[in-house]
């Protein structure tokens, strides 16, 4: 039987941030069987590939042992002939200083099918992310791009006449570049910007002139960097504000001022609930990876809730301890032909701000919110005499806290518990979360309930292929939304690093930011 037909995709990975890769690139990475990648490719980009994909690093690093181009060519041909879908992931764009010609020639000679997929080069991305336009009607009607890996090979006499220069691979030869430019007539006052690690959380920018830039960057590692030379550098002050422009010794930090910059955070909430939380973390600079540890759905039977809805007028209080309880209760209320008017004369207690917001979305105000956003605080601070009080308590079908019902009952209340929804453990782990755990790329894991902790651990145990080392949690921050969740973290994971003071997602976010700020100053 013949091997399936293989194909090689020469894919541009862009400048570093996987969000700046093309949709086509993301799709190819998710289907790759073999990945042959450059040294500058980041772990977040590698997380996009399937767990079963074979990864081979062949990148070239200045001053370090590098894979010979002939060997890279051989690997591409070999894997293609084995029938594999091969992604050759190259930094930036494959056709800009990407050494693609040699690889394509080898593939053509061997009769291998291939496709070239463009990427955003740091030639364009680095100046843009630093707030420097490469062209301007007055200051720059054209720009030239070059590699300064071998500065003696460049035609400096011609280059100095071009208004804007963009130089890659020039960090190690900065002094030679500055000397050549001034020798051939460029003014020492010519502005220059050096952008290192563009688009990555650790991106840094130095702004200076040909006269002082070498002194400014003395002792700094400048690779990988893009160098922009010309009057357009001065436009940065007008485009992003003078407070972000620094012409002195200290480097300007472009996108690293966000408190969670550089942090990869695993979010374990249900897929239907994680979006806003993930968005908030990303706004603070984090990379949020969603690993749903809950699946929310209908209970196994509606009969108990339906009976309670039919007898609503007999209840004194309705207790809702989560926005899931609110949403599913009102969905069923509507399904039975009723609406909020059916709750006339019934007081409503809720736990937490988000639950209160969910209730208000149904045009109802809660009558009572306990001061501490946990269910236990309900009984302790309940505003009514509980003797002979009839309470309707729609809740999760299994795994909820029994102590609440026991304490209400002990004080004389009649509590009618009815399942309004069910939360189950997912069957699988999202591939990107799986890869992040395998690659030890996760800095923080968030838990918003005890059940997410239990389900997370169950998912990990179900995946023996994860092959996590015994110390995989050593450098991972475990962040809990409150005391009960923390108890589960301690029991199952052996530690809690962060616990929210206010037991809400906003409180959890604030606690994570405080931890990250403290961690960065250590």
Q: What is the 3-state secondary structure (H, E, C) of 389-458?
A: CEEEEEEECCCCCCHHHHHHHHCCCEEEEEEEEEEECCCCCCHHHHHHHHCCCCCEEEECCHHHHHHHHH
Q: What number is the average pLDDT over the span 512-518?
A: 90
The yes-or-no verdict on residue 241 having pLDDT over 70 is: no
What pLDDT is stored for residue 403 in this prediction? 74
What pLDDT is stored for residue 246 in this prediction? 38
d(C-alpha 513, C-alpha 260), whole Å = 7
Report yes or no: 423 and 294 within 8 Å, Cβ to Cβ. Answer: yes
What pLDDT is stored for residue 2 in this prediction? 56
Low-confidence winner among 15-19, 84-88, 324-328 (lowest mean pLDDT)? 15-19
With a CB cutoff of 8 Å and minimum separation 6, the contacts of 475 are 440, 443
pLDDT band of 245, cuts 50, 70, 90? very low
What pLDDT is stored for residue 49 in this prediction? 77
Q: 168 - beta bridge partners? A: 147, 226
Question: Can you read off the two tokens belonging to residue 141?
Answer: 């009607």
Q: DSSP alpha helices (H): ranges in 47-160?
A: 69-81, 100-109, 122-129, 156-159
The yes-or-no verdict on residue 198 having pLDDT over 80 is: yes
Ramachandran region, residue 324 (left: φ > 0; alpha: ψ -120 to 50; beta: rest): alpha
What pLDDT is stored for residue 43 in this prediction? 53
The yes-or-no verdict on residue 301 having pLDDT over 90 is: yes
Order of strands, sheet of 498-499, starting from the edge strand that comes earlier in the sequence: 287-290, 264-267, 444-447, 477-480, 498-499
Q: pLDDT tens digits, residue range 148-165?
A: 989 999 999 999 999 999
With a CB cutoff of 8 Å and minimum separation 6, the contacts of 342 are 309, 312, 333
The yes-or-no verdict on residue 247 having pLDDT over 50 is: no
d(C-alpha 218, C-alpha 207), whole Å = 14
Report yes or no: 76 and 465 within 8 Å, Cβ to Cβ. Answer: no
Report yes or no: 343 and 365 within 8 Å, Cβ to Cβ. Answer: no
Q: From residue 171, how far is each of 228, 256, 356 by CA, in Å?
A: 12, 21, 56
Mean pLDDT of the chain: 86
What pLDDT is stored for residue 100 in this prediction? 93
What pLDDT is stored for residue 381 in this prediction? 79
**Half-sphere exposure for 18 (CA within 13 Å, toward CB):** 20
What pLDDT is stored for residue 346 in this prediction? 93
What pLDDT is stored for residue 200 in this prediction? 75
Rg (alpha carbons) of the chain, rounded to whole number: 29
d(C-alpha 510, C-alpha 516), whole Å = 10
d(C-alpha 294, C-alpha 273), whole Å = 10
Q: pLDDT tens digits, residue range 390-427?
A: 999 998 887 666 777 888 888 888 999 999 988 888 88
Q: What number is the average pLDDT over the span 488-516?
A: 92
With a CB cutoff of 8 Å and minimum separation 6, the contacts of 104 are 10, 114, 116
The yes-or-no verdict on residue 28 having pLDDT over 60 is: yes
| pTM (predicted TM-score) | 0.55
What pLDDT is stored for residue 456 in this prediction? 92
Q: What number is the average pLDDT over the span 71-98?
A: 94
What pLDDT is stored for residue 199 in this prediction? 83
Prior bond to 224 cis, omega within 30?
yes
Q: Annotated catalytic sites, by residue?
A: 38, 60, 169
Report yes or no: 229 and 206 within 8 Å, Cβ to Cβ. Answer: no
d(C-alpha 240, C-alpha 372), whole Å = 43
Identify the residue with better confidence: 361 or 108: 108
d(C-alpha 375, C-alpha 318), whole Å = 14
Q: pLDDT tens digits, residue range 317-373?
A: 999 988 889 999 999 999 999 988 889 889 999 987 888 888 998 889 999 988 765
Q: What number is the average pLDDT over the span 234-261?
A: 57
Burial pattern 479-507, b for ≥16 Cβ within 10 A else e, equals bbbbebbbebbeeebeebbbbbebbbbeb
The yes-or-no verdict on residue 44 having pLDDT over 60 is: no
Place of tokens 């809950």: 294
Question: Can you read off the two tokens belonging to residue 29?
Answer: 């990475």
User: Hey, what long-range contacts does 216-220 have (CB within 8 A, 24 or more apart)?
Assistant: 216/248, 216/249, 217/174, 220/251
Count the neighbouring beta carbons within 10 Å of the beta carbon of residue 457.
17
């Amino acid at each position: 039987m013949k091997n399936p037909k293989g194909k090689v995709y020469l894919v541009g990975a862009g400048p570093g941030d996987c969000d700046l890769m093309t949709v086509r690139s993301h799709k190819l990475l998710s289907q790759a069987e073999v990945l042959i990648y450059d040294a500058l490719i980041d772990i977040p980009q590698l997380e996009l590939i399937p767990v079963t994909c074979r990864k081979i690093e062949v990148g070239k690093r200045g001053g370090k042992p590098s894979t010979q181009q002939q060997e890279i060519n051989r690997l591409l041909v070999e894997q293609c002939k084995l029938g594999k879908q091969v992604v050759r992931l190259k930094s930036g764009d494959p056709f800009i200083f990407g050494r693609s010609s040699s690889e394509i020639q080898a593939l053509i000679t061997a009769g291998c099918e291939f496709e070239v997929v463009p990427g955003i080069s740091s030639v364009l991305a680095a100046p843009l992310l630093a707030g420097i336009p490469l062209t301007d009607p007055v200051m720059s009607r054209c720009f030239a791009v070059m590699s300064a890996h071998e500065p003696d090979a460049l035609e400096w006499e011609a280059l100095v006449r071009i208004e804007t220069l963009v130089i890659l691979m020039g960090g190690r030869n900065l002094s030679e570049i500055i000397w050549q430019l001034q020798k051939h007539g460029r003014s020492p006052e010519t502005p220059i910007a050096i952008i290192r690690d563009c688009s990555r959380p650790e991106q840094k920018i130095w702004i200076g002139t040909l006269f002082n830039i070498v002194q400014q960057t003395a002792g700094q590692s400048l690779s990988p960097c893009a160098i922009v030379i010309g009057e357009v550098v001065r436009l940065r002050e007008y485009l992003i504000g003078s407070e972000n422009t620094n012409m002195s010794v200290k480097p300007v930090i472009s996108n690293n001022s966000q408190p969670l910059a550089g942090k990869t955070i695993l979010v374990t909430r249900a897929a239907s609930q994680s979006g806003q939380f993930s968005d908030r973390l990303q706004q603070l600079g984090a990379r949020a990876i969603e690993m749903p540890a809950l699946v929310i759905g209908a209970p196994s039977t509606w009969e108990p809730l339906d009976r309670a809805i039919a007898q609503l007028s007999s209840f004194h209080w309705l207790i809702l301890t989560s926005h899931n309880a609110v949403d599913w209760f009102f969905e069923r209320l509507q399904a039975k032909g009723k609406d909020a008017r059916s709750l006339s004369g019934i007081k409503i207690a809720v736990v937490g701000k988000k639950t209160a917001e969910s209730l208000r979305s149904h045009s109802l105000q809660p009558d009572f919110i306990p001061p501490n956003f946990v269910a236990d605080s309900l009984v302790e601070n309940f505003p009514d005499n509980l003797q002979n009080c009839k309470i309707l308590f729609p809740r999760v079908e299994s795994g909820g806290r029994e102590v609440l019902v026991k304490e209400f009952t002990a004080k004389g209340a009649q509590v009618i518990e009815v399942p309004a929804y069910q939360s189950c453990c997912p069957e699988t782990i999202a591939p990107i979360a799986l890869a992040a755990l395998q690659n030890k790329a996760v800095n923080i894991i968030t838990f918003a309930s005890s059940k997410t902790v239990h389900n997370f651990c169950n998912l990990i145990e179900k995946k023996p292929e994860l092959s996590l080392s015994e110390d995989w949690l050593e450098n991972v921050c475990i962040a809990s939304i409150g005391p009960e969740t923390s108890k589960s973290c301690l029991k199952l994971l052996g530690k809690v690093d962060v616990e929210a003071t206010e037991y809400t997602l906003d409180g959890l976010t604030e606690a994570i930011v405080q931890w990250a700020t403290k961690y960065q100053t250590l």
